Amino acid sequence: DEVKYAASIVGGDMQGANDVLDGIMRNTGVPEQALVNVFYDQIGVIIGASGAVFGILLAFGMMFPNVQLMLLFPPIPIKAKYFVIGYGLLELYMGLSQRMGDNVAHFAHVGGMLFGWLLIRHWKLRRPLM
């Protein structure tokens, strides 16, 4: 109860408590969500569509592997198949490295790519897509 009181004293609002939590996290190395769970007795849920987006990205790379894409930074052309493979490997690496404060569901991205690959293979076995 003292911890909850200390968080509410800071300004009486969520932003003030969040600022305090941010300072504690930066100074102690404790993940912010763990401190939020302590203060507010809540468990955070991550929801989004990024896994589906990565599944579509992989499907594009499988169906149109030689299409030239133009990256923004650095502005260089790259084939879709190399972009998808590189991005997938980057997501796998980021998921395995589990960097503090990342707050990105990298394995949801990898899972979306895996599902996209399985779905395209299933469709290709049933009938040709192109």
- Position 3 scores a pLDDT of 47
Q: Residue 110: is its pLDDT beyond 60? A: yes
CA neighbor of 64 nearest in space, from 83, 42, 51: 83
- Residues 27 and 59 occupy one common structural domain: no
pLDDT band at 130 (very low <50, low <70, confident <90, very high): low
- Residues 65 and 32 occupy one common structural domain: no
Domain count, the chain: 2
Whether the Cβ atoms of residue 48 and residue 105 lie closer than 8 Å to each other? yes
Residue whose structure tokens are 């589906």: 52
Query: Which residue range forms the structural domain that includes residue 122?
Result: 50-126
Instruction: With respect to residue 101, please indicate whether it lies within any of the assigned structural domains.
Output: yes
- Residues 11 and 60 occupy one common structural domain: no
Burial class (CB in 10 A: 0-12, 13-18, 19+), 16: middle
Q: Greater confidence, 38 or 124?
A: 124
Q: What span, in angstroms and rounded, lies between the C-alpha atoms of 32 and 42?
A: 13
Per residue in 4-40, pLDDT tens? 444 444 445 555 656 665 665 566 555 655 656 666 6
Instruction: With respect to residue 60, please indicate whether it lies within any of the assigned structural domains.
Output: yes
- Position 33 scores a pLDDT of 59
Whether residue 74 has a cis bond before it, omega within 30° of 0: yes
Q: Greater confidence, 98 or 15?
A: 98
- Residues 68 and 32 occupy one common structural domain: no
SS3 content of the chain, % helix, strand, coil (to 5): 65, 5, 30
